[in-house]
Structure 1
């Protein structure tokens, strides 16, 4: 059985690994000169960085298992830390919530009740909100926005801002006023509502290529697969029951590219024209990662900090110390998710404002920035809104499958969703080929 994978992101790599280890003849086509898709590595200013500062969590079960399968040891490549939301905002305004290493659900209760910078009434309200979600088994009667759900359950004040809204923006990359409450609740189910280890932060201790794509590529080739970089697939031709791509014939095809790229490929097949129209209508959210090279003595108090905007003019969200994570002292990564005022700022203004906000949050004057790199992904993720229709992995054209985070209907646009979708497509093909 010959299978073509279109797209070398984490979804396409997951599908290729699963098919290759099951004996299929796999050819993976990637338009770029490197693998990884939207979670890839770049080189700049003598540094090996990433196109975005990604993080994983303990609930990423399929991703962690697949890493181990291809020889990428999560214990060496990921720095595991208990979930800590740390928002320093000056001398007298510091929110911090850390989940202790206790059995679930006591770790969550202890973390909420022990949170600093927030009143007791808010803590009890947050506990009640989680108990409600547990009582309805994390299924809402009808989808709505995250903001509407929080309003309905009287989640206000600092916990709303630093916990619920911060988690929503980080996980869904969509503002709470527009984000799907059901998808957000799904993420709470598998993290805060899961086992203690599910909430752990897994921060890459190296560049993203080494976390999974490089090992996956070696695995695919070792199992007889082929990887063709810098090869863009413009169309998928049907020939009888087979497909033709780049002059080769295949029994199965997995389209594992973003919605905007999948739509024209699907439009060429009459059976999938409706799916193409669906994906062509998707909206997207941006992400910017602002790398700043400070002198190597600069060190943040924690590998990941939140920047708590104190007024409408502030833009900071998250900041990562790559020196603590990746052994590159002085390299600081600011991450900005979803549409916002930051999009209108040019590079010098954006860098200067984030530097100023971090300085104010830490109550210290930072050393001068030695170099800077701004990476903007205008279509980083699909906009995860209420009632968004998601396509199935199996299309209406026999042998043609979809993979990508937008296909994994229970999850937002995350690495885990991408991996799960790739595995689901591959396993569906294997099952179909044996029937």
Structure 2
């Protein structure tokens, strides 16, 4: 069975690995030169950077399983730290870190030892956890995260220091318009599960090397093909039930096309919509649904200092305050993750539409000034080099009650795979991987069907 997978993001790579493992002949198409889609390596001034700094969770079971299957050494590829939300001392934040105790004692220990939270804040957090567990982390009717926090009587300080940054990091959508149910799903599988599930996993390698490159090698080793710089121009069903894929790219030559038994559309929602619209008239409604997703951006600013510059922790949370030019939400010390990047700091802004409106030089200067002020290190105001990278369509806005399609399209042999498909998770690496695995499972069962 020959299967085409269009798009080498984490969903496409997950589908490719699962199908190759199942004995299918896989051909992976990627229009860019680097694998990884919206979580990939980029080359800037001779440096290998990411188009966005990410944190994974111990709860990302499918991602970790497939990374290991593809030959990734998880211990060397990821830095594992306990659940934490740690602000720089004296910055007006808090210091919350879970001890290595069995669940739920690790959360109780973190709460008792937390600094920067008052008694009301701690009681508020305990009440949230207890109530969410009692509700089995499920809402009868979805609402915004802000409304959920109001219902649970969360204190303004806890919202500012804990819930808002967690919501932005997990859903890439501000709490006032983010889905409370999806937020609870993430908390259920991390805070509400085993201690290891709540661990935070920080990539040491670039995002392409972390999984997509290994996935491509796995596909090739199992008899498949990987075409980079190859854009799928169209897909079309054939009378015999197979699919024709037309693609363009320097390596393919003019007029390239091939016939496949099935196709997995694993490009972004908007790119997949264009292919669906041309594939069959009755898929227009599905294409319109995908085109209707509102994009959310993620911005990462890289600041290079001397190689001796090092933070006290691998990463800190930051209090963002755009009115004062403080846009950063987290800062990562890349030198503590990769010795070859000593002195390189990465500042992350989720849901960064407003920040991205600034010029690159202006935003980089503002973020450097923020670090100098918050970390009380004046030298950080003057980096030797900087670069701002904004992924404008990093995710979709994860709104309450958002309609998300199944993997099956209704046409035999044509499936969707992407972080936007129906599932518990928002547009995270794990959400994408789970979707890719689900699409592959339907094909491995031999007869794709609507869920």
Gaps of 5+ in 1: none
Q: Deviations over 1:208-244 (max 9, x none)?
A: 2221111111110000001111111121111111110
* Cα distance in structure 2, aligned partners of 1:125 and 1:192: 15
CA distance 1:309–1:29, shift in 2 (3 Å) = closer
User: Map of 1:108-187 to 2, 5 A cutoff?
Assistant: 108-187=107-186
Structure-2 residue corresponding to 1:356:
369
Shift of 1:134: 0.6
TM-score, scaled relative to structure 1: 0.97
Q: Deviations over 1:327-371 (max 9, x none)?
A: 111100011110454122111111111111111111121253111
* Cα distance in structure 2, aligned partners of 1:242 and 1:340: 42
Structure-1 residue corresponding to 2:64:
64
CA contact (8 A) 1:54 1:204 kept: yes
The alignment partner of 1:413 has SS state of: coil
* Cα distance in structure 1, aligned partners of 2:448 and 2:230: 30
Moved more, 356-365 or 164-173: 356-365
Question: Which of 327, 349, 355 is the aligned partner of 1:336?
Answer: 349
Question: Which of 408, 424, 427 is the aligned partner of 1:410?
Answer: 424
Structure-2 residue corresponding to 1:375:
389
Give the number of aligned pairs. Answer: 434
TM-score, scaled relative to structure 2: 0.94
CA contact (8 A) 2:301 2:348 kept: yes
* Cα distance in structure 2, aligned partners of 1:116 and 1:2: 57
User: Map of 1:89-108 to 2, 5 A cutoff?
Assistant: 91=90, 93-108=92-107
User: Map of 1:169-318 to 2, 5 A cutoff?
Assistant: 169-240=168-239, 241-246=241-246, 247-268=257-278, 269-309=280-320, 312-313=323-324, 314-318=326-330
CA contact (8 A) 1:5 1:26 kept: yes
The reply to whether residue 422 of structure 1 matches residue 436 of structure 2 is: yes
Structure-1 residue corresponding to 2:251:
none
* Cα distance in structure 2, aligned partners of 1:338 and 1:98: 25
CA contact (8 A) 1:300 1:321 kept: yes
Gaps of 5+ in 2: 247-256
CA contact (8 A) 2:58 2:200 kept: yes
Structure-2 residue corresponding to 1:19:
19
